[in-house]
Amino acid sequence: MSKKLCGYRKTPAEKKLPTKETEHFLTADPLPTNFDLRDAYPTCESLKEVRDQSSCGSCWAFGAAEAMSDRICIASKGKLQTRVSTTHLVACCYECGDGCDGGQLGPSFDYWVQNGLPTGGLYGDVNTCQPYPFPPCDHHVVGKYGPCPSEEYPTPSCSNTCVSGYPHTYGTDLHFASKAYSLPSREQEIMREIFEQGSVEAAFDVYEDFINYKTGVYKHVKGSYLGGHAIKVIGWGVENGTKYWLIVNSWNDSWGDKGTFKMLRGVNHCGIEDDVVGGLPIINSKLKFLDA
């Protein structure tokens, strides 16, 4: 994994989102030992997808857009099968960072609140407003796409229009959130948030032994530090007595365990519990638009 593709940048203190109040978690019903949002919400198509950031340090935008997409579906009880555009975040969220050269989590969710985000699916998707412009490639595996380019793609230009042939205007295509927030760096609060609201975006420190992950619960053992990486967390569990987070990567489904991996949970391994963010989608206006 090229260090330049480790696209997570820590959010400066002045850009940090407010921390969500979680007092009610203390009196809530116990959480299950194992939980997977894909099983809890089987009709949500976005939960089944593994996207591909290609040769662009846009992991920060992928983790955000994927979590947002899942939350829109979950909040609408499956009526809104939305794919939020990673392209628009990468190209237009100047407060987030530097596009393909990396970005931050908190400002990505704040952008969802303040500006809204259009739809955007995978590379070549003609059924969304701003699909991803870069083709999938093989990340650290020999697969069906061919090796990722050695050079990083340039950040796309910001646009407030949809691709040709898409039936909706950019303005009517936007999805908004009512609130964006950080979560306390505590295991139970993060679990409760996933259980009650859906996927969250998080980030962790990447070391050389991570890139060849296949199965099991990842624990850093050896190898040099490569940088920060942002991902989507969709659940948790216990495997052979070891607690883990269930995580979706953005290197397509040929990497890891069909595009996912498990990471040691509850001890802030590689900083996985340090920077976790979420938001609440606005769905009523979109449901009315859908019904019109």
The residue count for the chain = 292
The band of 290, judged by pLDDT with boundaries at 50, 70 and 90, is low
**One of 249, 252, 269, 270 is an active-site residue; which one?**
249
Greater confidence (134 vs 2) lies with 134
59 noted as active-site residue: yes
- d(Cα 55, Cα 138) in Å, to the nearest integer? 10
Mean pLDDT of the 240-250 span = 98
**One of 88, 139, 175, 229 is an active-site residue; which one?**
229
- Inter-helix orientation angle 59-75/187-197, to 10°: 50
pLDDT for 13 equals 84
**One of 6, 44, 56, 59 is an active-site residue; which one?**
59
What pTM, to 2 d.p., does this model score? 0.95
pLDDT at 27 over 70: no
Q: What is the pLDDT of residues 167-189, one digit of tens each?
A: 999 999 999 999 999 999 999 99
pLDDT for 292 equals 45
pLDDT at 89 over 60: yes
Backbone angles phi and psi of 17, in degrees to 5: -75, 155
249 noted as active-site residue: yes
220 noted as active-site residue: no
For 206-210, which contacts have Cβ atoms below 8 Å and span 24 or more sequence positions? 206/1, 206/6, 206/270, 207/270, 210/1
What domains sit in the chain, N to C, each tagged with a CATH number? 3-10+17-291 (3.90.70.10)
